[in-house]
Amino acid sequence: MADEVPRSGLSAKVPPNGWGVGSDDWERYDLPTLTAAQAALDVPQPEPLRVSLLARSMGVSDEESWKVGRATQRLTEKGLIDSSGIGFADGVDHYPSMIKRVRVSALEALQIWPTRESTARILVAILMSSAEELDATEPAEATARRGAAAVLERLLTAGITGFTSGLGGGLAGQP
């Protein structure tokens, strides 16, 4: 699917902006929920991941599963995951019942996914490397690739970040 994100293990002890350093919520609930969601969604699924099943896979009792629901809500509010549905009442509040996906912004915040700018710099390096390989056989193509790399480099140097807003992994226009 176009909006799938390659996943690798999350291990961040430092929460992304918005959680205080040493936040109990981040270390006790949010990071484990994000990690488990990422692992569960590693396998393509026909429908969103049910938070109740995620909680069970994390070893959380049915009585405490609302805490995973609350973590899901915080992660959604911070823009790190997409969720839907209503479920998990703790007596007062309701929380999402399904997780649709872990967003690229979560992987960037946890420093396991390249930033938009680093992705653009990788593209510049690839263009330059391929231009060198094409010098002898296709000089016009080599020149075109060097030109594209130079334009991209100038944009990056000038600090035009809007240009790279669609590059941060290039997946379904995710922020």
Q: What is the pLDDT of residues 110-151, one digit of tens each?
A: 666 666 777 788 889 999 999 999 999 999 999 999 999 999
Comparing 9-23, 24-38, 68-82, the range with the smallest average pLDDT is 9-23
Provide the percentage of residues in the chain whose pLDDT is more than 70: 69
Q: What is the pLDDT of residues 47-101, one digit of tens each?
A: 889 998 999 999 998 888 888 988 999 899 888 999 988 765 555 567 888 999 9
Q: pTM value?
A: 0.55
The pLDDT assigned to 112 comes to: 64
Report how far residue 37's alpha carbon sits from residue 41's, in angstroms, rounded to the nearest whole number.
Answer: 6
What integer is the mean pLDDT of 17-30?
A: 64
CB proximity list for 46: less than 8 A, separation 6 or greater: none
